[in-house]
């Protein structure tokens, strides 16, 4: 991932970033790998066809046209929205530290709120009255302590969390809604008034194009934003199979603290939280439990943002700015790369495996493995999974057999 220089992108640069992330088979991990290798999105865009061909693609890769990217940015600007680039001015530091951080984050409302230290608060859509009251109370008191309360604008616990954190407009913190669709799409529709309040007094974020209607496959990606923005995740009521537990799992993978409110073993909505507690989550009975759990990650003044240097060090921010080509070394021949492509393709199957394990088993340099996986992904032969894991596509295995 690029370290960034603290400046905002120009409009032309933003369009180049949009074109690259909207091009076929380019996800966040691949975007960052391309940026490390080629330096700029414009140079990476020129290299996409050759990389995809080397990865085994038979037909031309679809590159996002400039007119499409310009139209998307125009729609965002018409809403009064902003595009924040990873590693550049305004982009949340904690989120930027993730391997799969969205290259561009689309924001409506008050982007300055994203500078606040954040805590996520999530839970059941069909929440009980007590669960909603607990969520509102926690959110209100956490926002009073200067924390940004992050949730997903869903019914139940999410809505209660946003409402509690909004308060009367005088709280030191605030609230952020991470959205599965476009930043302009109100979902669920009955949260239209809450959406308007968030646009006026809070902040709304998304990585999806403006106008995108949320689909089921978008929500896990949205959940990683909720946990990725936050120092920790508090779960208030969650069934054993729920999006809230996905968010908690992602939080654990991202090195965040996980908190859970206990509940009655007779209530299915408490089973997820009780499971989290058995697995080591911090038990929450009051706001003080959350603040005590976050204390090691916060400065003594809770109204200040977390120390940027500390967070980047703790979460593994990449500081080596050499390109992958430089790290691979100029002595690598095409025949060696061809052999590496064959070995890596043979190691992969539809079950996701850690990239580190691929490196260990094939005994190739990390730079070569990264390059081969980049080629394969652009060719549509493999796909990325959370936790820096990769899997070969089933149809690619069928074609090879």
pLDDT tens, 37-67? 999 999 999 999 999 999 999 999 999 999 9
Residue 4 included in any domain: no
Residue 150 CA to residue 172 CA, distance in Å, equals: 14
228 has pLDDT over 90? yes
Residue 5 included in any domain: no
Show Cβ contacts of residue 163 under 8 Å, excluding neighbours closer than 6 positions: 136, 139, 194
Q: Which residues on neighbouring strands pair with residue 233, listed in sequence order?
A: 120, 258
What are the distances in angstroms from CA 368 to CA 68, 86, 100, 378? 33, 25, 20, 15
Residue 56's domain spans which residues?
11-92
The pTM of the full predicted model, rounded to 2 decimals, is 0.86
pLDDT digits (tens, 9 = 90+) for 274-304: 999 999 999 999 999 999 999 988 754 433 4
Q: Are residues 392 and 259 in the same domain?
A: no
For the record, the structure tokens of 199 come out as 């646009």
Helix (H) or strand (E) holding 348: none
pLDDT of residue 314: 32
Q: Are residues 172 and 266 in the same domain?
A: yes
Q: Please give the average per-residue pLDDT across 122-139, as a whole number.
A: 97
pLDDT confidence band for 5 (50 / 70 / 90): low
pLDDT of residue 80: 95
Domain tally for the chain? 3
pLDDT of residue 385: 86
Q: How far is CA 254 from the centre of its chain?
A: 10
Beta sheet of 232-236, edge-to-edge order? 82-85, 104-109, 203-206, 174-178, 148-151, 118-123, 232-236, 257-260, 282-283
pLDDT confidence band for 338 (50 / 70 / 90): confident
pLDDT confidence band for 306 (50 / 70 / 90): very low
Q: Are residues 100 and 186 in the same domain?
A: yes
For the record, the structure tokens of 57 come out as 């693609």
pLDDT digits (tens, 9 = 90+) for 139-187: 999 999 999 999 999 999 999 999 999 998 888 899 999 999 999 999 9
Residue 120 CA to residue 251 CA, distance in Å, equals: 10
pLDDT of residue 396: 84
pLDDT of residue 277: 97
Q: Which of 291, 315, 339 is the last residue of a domain?
A: 315
Q: Which of 315, 347, 379 is the last residue of a domain?
A: 315
Q: Are residues 71 and 217 in the same domain?
A: no
322 has pLDDT over 70? no
Show Cβ contacts of residue 232 under 8 Å, excluding neighbours closer than 6 positions: 119, 120, 251, 256, 257, 258, 259, 290, 293, 294, 297
Q: Please give the average per-residue pLDDT across 27-46, as a whole number.
A: 95
Q: Which of 264, 282, 315 is the last residue of a domain?
A: 315
Residue 248 included in any domain: yes
Residue 72 CA to residue 27 CA, distance in Å, equals: 18
Q: Are residues 102 and 199 in the same domain?
A: yes
Q: How many residues does the chain have?
A: 401
pLDDT confidence band for 400 (50 / 70 / 90): low
- C-beta neighbour count of 106 within 10 angstroms: 24
Q: Are residues 244 and 333 in the same domain?
A: no
């Amino acid at each position: 991932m690029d370290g960034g220089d603290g400046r905002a992108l120009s409009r032309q640069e933003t369009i180049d970033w949009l074109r690259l992330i909207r091009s076929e088979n380019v996800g966040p991990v691949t975007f960052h790998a391309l940026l490390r290798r080629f330096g700029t999105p414009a140079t990476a865009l020129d290299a996409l066809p050759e990389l995809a061909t080397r990865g085994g693609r038979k037909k031309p890769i679809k590159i996002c046209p400039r007119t499409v990217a310009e139209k998307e940015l125009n729609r965002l600007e018409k809403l009064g929205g902003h595009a924040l680039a990873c590693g550049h001015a305004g982009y949340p530091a904690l989120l930027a530290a993730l391997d799969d951080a969205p290259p561009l984050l689309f924001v409506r409302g008050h982007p300055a709120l994203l500078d606040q230290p954040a805590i996520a608060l999530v839970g059941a859509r069909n929440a009980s009255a007590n669960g909603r009251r607990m969520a509102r109370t926690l959110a209100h008191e956490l926002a009073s302590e200067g924390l940004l309360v992050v949730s997903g604008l869903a019914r139940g616990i999410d809505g209660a969390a946003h409402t509690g954190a909004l308060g009367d407009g005088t709280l030191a913190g605030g609230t952020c809604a991470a959205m599965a669709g476009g930043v302009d799409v109100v979902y669920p529709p009955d949260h239209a008034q809450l959406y308007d309040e968030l646009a006026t007094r809070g902040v709304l974020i998304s990585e999806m194009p403006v106008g995108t209607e949320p689909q089921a496959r978008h929500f896990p990606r949205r959940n990683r934003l909720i946990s990725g923005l936050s120092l920790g995740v508090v779960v208030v009521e969650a069934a054993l199979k729920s999006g809230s537990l996905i968010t908690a799992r992602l939080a654990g993978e991202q090195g965040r603290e996980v908190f859970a409110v206990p509940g009655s073993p007779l209530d299915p909505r408490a089973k997820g939280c009780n499971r989290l507690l058995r697995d080591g989550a911090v038990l929450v009975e009051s706001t003080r439990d959350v603040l005590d759990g976050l204390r090691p990650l916060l400065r003594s003044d809770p109204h200040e943002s977390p120390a940027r240097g500390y967070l980047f060090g703790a979460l593994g921010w990449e500081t080596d700015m050499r390109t992958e080509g430089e790290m691979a070394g100029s002595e690598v021949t095409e025949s060696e790369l061809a052999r590496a492509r064959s070995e890596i393709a043979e190691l992969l199957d539809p079950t996701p495996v850690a990239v580190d394990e691929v490196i260990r088993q094939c005994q190739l340099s990390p730079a070569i493995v990264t390059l081969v996986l980049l080629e394969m992904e652009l060719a549509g032969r493999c796909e990325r999974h959370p936790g820096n894991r990769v899997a070969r596509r089933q149809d690619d295995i069928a074609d090879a057999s």
